Chain A
Amino acid sequence: MIEAENLGKSYGDFTAVKDVTFSVRPGEIVGLLGPNGAGKTSIMKILTGYHFPSRGRAVVGGYDVEKDPVRVKAAVGYLPESSPVYGEFSVEEYLGFVAAARGIAPDSRDRALAAAIRECGLEKMRRRTISKLSKGYRQRTGLAQAIIHNPAILILDEPTAGLDPNQIAEVRRLIRKMGNEKTVILSTHILQEVEALCDRILILNEGLIAAGGTRDEIAAQIKGGQQYELVIKSEKFLSREDLAGIPGLTGVGDFQPLPGEGEPSGGGGFKLYEARVSLEAGAEGGDVLFDWALAKGYRLRALTKQRYSLEALFARFTEAGGAS
């Protein structure tokens, strides 16, 4: 549905997008995540045919954005950042204009208008002048504008920026609903948003894709891909060094005996140790650890795979030079 190949965009001396390659399959909701200035908006402007790429190429809905911009624009519904609107029009007038400009035939225009208004919960605001609407309703008007021609592809630049929590929930619900039948790319710097909405995430940093995939796939790309928390039951004294024999071990984090759980004596007594280990990606870490413990004669009281929080991933990939 969307293919970007070695895409780059420079504004004068400033390079906003360096070299970005990705593709989006039909029906996917993909989140572009990144700090301000990472190149999210520039990528979206290219995909909507608003800007041409400086390097590389992008194909949207089967059309090249440079060679066939009008067809690309026709296939895409776009909510620009900060959702600009013609304030002097009423919701109805404005959506009517967009519907006409999008080439919807006059006899089906009313239906398209009604559908978009219903989808976005704007029924009560139909005749209201847009400049007098609250931020939330204005955003919904922007969304209604983006979906009025029932596009196969939706590109939403920070769709929930500046909304209150209820409005955010509402807009997310809308996006999720549209995501059932449309291909959606949305950008955000809010982590919960991609978590809540997206099938796939592209983390952008300084004009490059720092990581891409589902959250677990991204976590696996981090060096020392898998992290486990163990509670080891041992009849002997254990020290950090005893863990060195774990196959594929890349690091040992915290290691400490759990307080108040017996004393190892060699004769029936035991001690519990808590450890946090990182293993290289590849073999299933749970099996590796289990086999290792069995071979050594330890018992495992707990074996928990640690999921990186998105915050941690985001920080890993976007702090200065942090792409691994």
Chain B
Amino acid sequence: MRKILPLVKKELAVFFNSPAAYVLGAAFIIFMSVWFFFLLRFPARNIASLRGYFEVIPIVFIILIPALTMRGWAEERKLGTAELLLTLPYTEVHLVVAKFLGPFFFLCILMGLTLPLPLTVLPLGHFETGEIVGEYTGILLLGAAALSIGQFASVLSTNQVSSFLLGAGALIFFTLVHYAGELSGIPSFLGSLLRYLSLEYHFDSFRKGVLDTRDIVYFLFICALFQYLTVKTLVIRKWS
């Protein structure tokens, strides 16, 4: 872990050196605030729960996460800096984990910046702190899984635009796939399989403040799976 610290720092520095990242961050915060006060009409609902607030997160992530990961491998490959990175004394696993942790920390910072919203309303009613902790845990797990999917999309792409589109496409699929399971005429085993695949479906219980091991395992599995696929892609590329 100490070993990859320079790589993680570099990934973060890329964000903080890029005006686009600030614009993206600001847009995210502004959207969440607008959603909170206007679209959700939070004050008018008179319910001491943030469930509705977090409902929108999986949809927002479909845009936000690919925007964070689109640079990833795609830009490194285009600029040729991937060659520098891959000839530093690291294994592919190190590089992929670092490329995951960089955007993940950036996402943590963004989510940290949304905290003031719930915190300001906290004294106004009887909120359950457990629920809010659960919701934030769920968001970070969902974010981690989505970032891994995004990184895999970027390793398959040769430029940022296709990286973004591929990532967003994959996230749309993984977020909304459980709706397909609800279509009539779908066998029930297939329905539950599709539901099991869905990011949003697993995020749902966190939204209610329930920390279910099965959901945690699911998110960690998605994380590991897509990072593994990214590593494999890099290794296969050394052979071909």
Contacts and interface: CB of A to CB of B under 8 A. Distances in A.
A97 B8 CA distance: 10
A82 B80 CA distance: 8
Contacts of B30: none
A89 B88 contact: no
A88 B17 contact: yes
Contacts of B80: 80-82, 84
Nearest to A51: B238
Contacts of A49: 87
A93 B83 CA distance: 19
Interface in A47-90: 48-52, 54, 69-71, 73-74, 76, 78, 80-82, 84-89
Contacts of A86: 10, 14, 79, 81
B60 interface: no
Nearest to B79: A84
Contacts of B89: 70-71, 73-74, 101-103
Interface residues of A, number: 33
Nearest to A75: B89
B6 interface: yes
B14 A98 contact: no
B84 A80 contact: yes
Nearest to A45: B83
B84 A145 contact: yes
Contact of B240 (A11, A74, A84, A103): A11
B51 interface: no
A100 interface: yes
Contacts of A74: 89
B14 to A, nearest CB: 7
A80 B6 contact: no
A88 B15 CA distance: 10
B13 interface: yes
B6 A97 contact: yes
B94 to A, nearest CB: 9
Interface in B8-28: 9-10, 13-14, 17-18
B68 interface: no
A89 B17 contact: yes
Interface in B219-240: 238-240
A12 B84 CA distance: 23
Contacts of B88: 73, 98, 101-102
A100 B7 CA distance: 9
B80 to A, nearest CB: 3
16 contacts: A12-B240, A52-B239, A54-B239, A69-B91, A73-B87, A73-B88, A74-B89, A82-B80, A84-B81, A84-B83, A86-B10, A89-B13, A89-B17, A97-B9, A100-B6, A102-B88
